[in-house]
Amino acid sequence: MVNAHEETDTFAKARASFEEMLCWLEGTESAGMTHAELEDQVERRGREVQRLMLQDHPAPRGALTYPPRSGEGLEVIIPGSNG
């Protein structure tokens, strides 16, 4: 079930994944691992959190914003476009 905060939180999936990782670290499964095994799992789970953050980032993919050359406002350049 999705709570009200998750409905308005752009990064709800990433936060949930991070919280899941912390709960796992506090749990019995991780307590029985070697340091090397913990490192591998934290790295793998951390990459997933980072992937979710980038996936949910609100900036449009492919659009680059530059300061205006002259005049007012920002100039937006979309790679691959002829404009």
- Predicted pLDDT of residue 20: 95
Beta strand segments in 1-83, E: 64-66, 75-77
Query: Within 13 A of 66's CA, how many CA atoms are on the CB side?
Result: 9
Q: What is the mean pLDDT of the chain?
A: 79
pLDDT score recorded for residue 56: 85
The pLDDT assigned to 19 comes to 96
The model carries a pTM of 0.59
CA geometry: angle 69, 64, 71, nearest 5 deg: 20
Domain limits, the chain = 4-77
pLDDT per position as a tens digit, 22-78:
999 999 999 999 999 999 999 999 999 999 998 888 765 555 555 666 656 555 556
d(CA 22, CA 16): 10
